[in-house]
Structure 1
Amino acid sequence: MDNKMDERLLRSEEHSGGNLGRRVWLESRKIWRVAFPGIISRVSAFGILVVTQAFIGHIDEVDLAAYALCQTIMLRFINGILLGMSSATETLCGQAFGARQYHMMGIYLQRSWIVNFVTATVLLPIFIFATPIFRLLGEDEAISKVAGTISLWFIPFIYNFIFSLTIQMYLQSQLKNAVVAWLSASTFLLHLALSWIFVYKLSLGVSGAMGSLSISSWLVVFGEFFYIFGGWCPDTWKGFTMAAFTDLWPVVKLSVSSGIMLCLELWYNSILLLVAGYMKNAEVAISAFSICLNISAWQFMLFLGFLSASSVRISNELGRGDAKAAKFSIKVIMGTSVLLGVLCFILCLVFGNKLGYLFTSSEEVAETVGDLSVLLAFTMLFNGIQPVLTGVAVGAGLQASVAVINLGCYYVIGIPFGVVLAYVADLEIKGIWIGMISGMAIQILVLGFMIWRTSWDEQVKNASERLQRWSLQPSEESNESLNHS
């Protein structure tokens, strides 16, 4: 479907006869058109990490704990920054699409590649010096040594974030992210096969599991390049252009505020996992906590689809100048997401005691996971609310405000409360988790209040001013083009 047909779908029967049921149905179609492919792609992409953890978990407990530290602390650290910085692409491309400034979308995409590439390269030493970093943090010596080897395998993986995250946001802003879903789902199945062959048939162990991770992640990126460069985005991709190197500073500022917003959120769990590493039985505590976090994070990937949908819908409507449509979209998507969150809550309560055995052969680790299942269920419930609120903020370009809220709720309240419960009240890993969900609950209340008080007419004005300030005329962009599709 081309852009004109997409626009007609977004505009169709916007104010149809005051029929609320009809309006909810139409808005739900628009939401699911973005959310469903986003859910498939994000669940599949994160599933690659979960599958890798599962294969490593059946090799050795020390390897599992080392992988958990690298993935949940280091990788999440980098992913938080790059995902957050990429949300600037989501804001700008979504508003540009709503305002029909299609020629700017490809330029915004290229600017995000430049900013994210520099950022990833600057942060690379974190993976190179993983062992001394974990030693400095006081982690177990055996785990720190193995983590130093595993962290090097993550280096090619983190560079795929530069392209995969931004391209997905670029495509979903113009309602073309179905191709990302197909690529991600196909690669997930391929990763299962590759991991089995490398780990069990070729007996490559941890190296085989990590090698399969790198291969699978980059296949998605190559498929996305083929789609964009092959001419399937004719209105928004005009080729590489020197215009991408102009006006970078405003993009950097929005990217940094976006990065802080999401990385504070993702680092939250990582810091709590680090705290778990100081407990008496560190291997069991880290392994069990990381398994629960990965289960929660995999479910969170589902609701990141709704984060994307809320961001795209809000940014599109603000770009079009329709504040009423933006507010109505928030109500519909929030209702849908909360219902799914309640369903996940119930399923976790029913099957929570069996989840640990999917990731480990250790009886002790699996039992610890089962003990945390009730707290995990509440986390899943909150995961059904928080991403939509964040997505609304991203769509409106309010990342800086959310960053301040995240800092206060997570780092002033959540982490200190969790540490006190873990070590003073002697609740150990349960205390850490209670602190985590307490911070989430307060964040949801504050974000909800902020969005309720937001003037959406004012946000329409802000979006219009932002687009006018950063936009180039099509003729200017064409003059600076290096290569046309």
Structure 2
Amino acid sequence: MEGDPKQKLLITKESSSEEELTLVKRVWEESKLMWVVAAPGIFTRFSTFGINVITQAFVGHIGSRELAAFALVYTVLVRFVNGILLGMATALSTLCGQAFGAKEYGMMGVYLQRSWIVLFLTAFILLPLFIFTRPIFILLGQDESIAEVAGTISLWSIPIMFAFIVSFTCQTFLQSQSKNVIIAFLAAFSIIFHVCLSWLLVIKLNLGLPSAIVATSLAYWIPNIGQLIFVTCGWCHETWKGFSFLAFRELWPVVKLSLSAGAMLCLELWYNTILVLLTGNMKNAEVEIDALSICLNINGWEMMISLGFMAAARERLAYIFTSNKEVADAVGDLSPLLSISILLNSVQPVLSGVAIGAGWQSIVAYVNIGCYYVVGIPVGIVLGKVIDLQVKGIWIGMLFGTFVQTLVLTIITYKTNWDEQVNIARNRVNRWSKMGNSDQETKINTPDD
């Protein structure tokens, strides 16, 4: 005889309630673990990005032309180079993350060295962009007086390009091992040092534009030196086994993964670059570039500053970067679009992080081409130039492209078979670790001549 239906229903409800409590507990535990890793990482990103924001604030008080030139160099040229180098460095994030998960710790140091080789060679190839900045910007239709100042800024910024390589790779290497506290400590020291040195050189001693860029360069290199010492001098004994000739072997797979990763992130970062270039061809270009660059820098801090504060501050916040009322008013006019951009960028980086961890760089590169360059930019040009909404129209088009990209990545993530992705990652790590082990065995077993 079957049991009482009411009793069955009660048991079903109790088991369902227990499952919900278990799920809530699991989510809570995972969230705590994630914040242990994420909190220092967020602070580090905040501090590192803050270096450029602080520099822009000091440069803006030198003059509007200098601020426009700085915006061109750092939002166009440095972002262009940054996109390539950071994008290629994300290949290391995929490899180190998967190697650490598979407990192939010794391969992580080899991956780091391989990444250095690939990225430094890439940086030397990109060096002429910094040397010939002035004619390049004039060729792109920018104001000649602004391009002249931009040429000076770019030459002083060459050490910063090489600093990016060490910064990106060492941070990735350490974050893959959850060693984030040292990165956060060095970042905090760096930003305090940068504020003090910039004030001394630019405001107190009035040494002008080059001194602001020198302070920026030092602020990037100081934490890099600290990270290199931490990595190579015994604090990463499991994952760093010293410099090895294995780093020069099997470089082609790293190059291929780096290129696909670079394409993915470049297409994303260059999206805002095109926005600035299009703005530079509009009427009242100096004010428009200044206002837009301020908004883009504020947008870079959206994960750290609340949306409500941003809405309340509006154009008042712009006075941190400039004393020009016309520029501040233009920032206030763009603030509603800035708020929407902040909302979208709260979701999109998470999806990009999932793509990097899973090694989908090639897929996301195609998604970015379609969403940004086939959808976003044409819509922005039509709204900005044909309908004459100017910079507002261009930014609306850009936001629309970002929205479409976020939607597509959400669908891809939802429909992915994650068990299959785990097997793919395991096979990749096993294959590459076997290559490294066979190379070491060959070296050991080869008799002396």
Band of TM-score, shorter chain: over 0.9
State which of 403, 410, 418 in structure 2 corresponds to 1:441.
403
Instruction: Please tell me the residue identity of whatever aligns with 1:42.
Output: R
1:351 maps to 313
Question: How far, CA to CA, are the matches of 2:206 and 2:253 in structure 1?
Answer: 50
Write the distance in 1 (CA, Å) between the matches of 2:314 and 2:440: 54
Aligned residues: 426
Residue 36 of structure 2 corresponds to residue 74 of structure 1: no
Distance in 1 between residues matched to 2:142 and 2:29, nearest whole Å: 53
1:38: how far off? 1.1
- Shift of the 480–131 alpha-carbon distance from structure 1 to 2, 3 Å rule, reads farther
* 2:289 paired residue number: 286
TM-score, with length taken from structure 2: 0.92
Q: Distance in 2 between matches of 1:443 and 1:427?
A: 23
SS at match of 1:372: helix
Residues 348, 374 of structure 1: 8 Å contact kept = no
Amino acid at match of 2:341: T
**Is 1:197 paired with 2:197?**
no
Contact 1:345–1:378 under 8 Å retained in 2 = no
Where does residue 423 of structure 1 map in the other structure?
A: 385
The residue identity in structure 2 corresponding to 1:385 is V
TM-score by length of 1: 0.85
1:219 to 219, 222, 239: 222
Match of 2:7 in 1: none
Q: Distance in 1 between matches of 2:168 and 2:441?
A: 26
Distance in 2 between the 1:110 and 1:363 partners? 49
Aligned to 2:239: 236
**1:118 aligned to 121, 125, 129, which one?**
121
1:102 matched residue in structure 2: 105
Letter of the structure 2 residue corresponding to residue 461 of structure 1: N
Q: Give the AA of the match of 1:234.
A: H
- Deviation of 1:357 (Å): 1.1
User: In structure 2, do the counterparts of structure 1 residues 291 and 479 end up closer, same or farther at CA, with 3 Å as the change threshold?
Assistant: farther
Structure 2 residue aligned with 1:38: 41
CA shift for structure 1 position 477 = 4.4
C-alpha RMSD of matched pairs (Å): 1.7
Confirm whether residue 63 of structure 1 aligns to residue 66 of structure 2. Answer: yes
What are the equivalent positions in structure 2 for 1:1-400 lying under 5 Å apart? 19-299=22-302, 344-400=306-362
Change (3 A) 1:61 1:106: same
Separation in structure 1 between the aligned mates of residue 21 and residue 116 of structure 2, nearest angstrom: 44
Shift of 1:89: 0.5
Where does residue 11 of structure 2 map in the other structure? Answer: none
- CA deviation map 1:16-46 (0-9, x unaligned): 9961222112111221122111111111111
Report the CA distance between 1:211 and its aligned residue: 0.7
- Mark the runs of 5 or more structure 1 residues left unpaired by the alignment: 1-15, 303-342
What are the Cα deviations for residues 279-311 of structure 1, in whole angstroms up to 9, with x where unaligned? Answer: 1101001100011011112336x5xxxxxxxxx
Using the TM superposition, give the Cα deviation of residue 349 of structure 1 relative to its aligned residue in structure 2, in angstroms. 2.1
Would the alpha carbon gap of residues 353 and 17 (structure 1) be closer, same or farther in structure 2, given more than 3 Å must change? closer
Between the aligned partners of 2:151 and 2:122, the Cα distance in structure 1 is: 21
Structure 1 match to 2:10: none
Alpha-carbon distance in structure 1 between the residues aligned to 2:182 and 2:213: 25
Q: Report the Cα offset of residue 350 of structure 1.
A: 2.3
Instruction: For 2:254 and 2:21, locate their aligned partners in 1 and report how far apart those are by CA, in whole Å.
Output: 40
Quick one: distance in 1 between partners of 2:161 and 2:187?
16
Alpha carbons of 1:474 and 1:18: their partners in 2 closer, same or farther (altered >3 Å)?
Answer: farther
| Structure 2 segments unaligned to the other structure (5+ residues) | 1-18, 445-449
Deviations 1:305-345 (A, max 9, x none): xxxxxxxxxxxxxxxxxxxxxxxxxxxxxxxxxxxxxx833
Identity %, equivalent residues:
55
How far apart, in 2, do the equivalents of 1:477 and 1:427 lie? 62
1:456/1:347 Cα in 2 relative to 1: closer, same or farther (>3 Å)? Answer: same
Q: Secondary structure at the match of 1:44?
A: helix
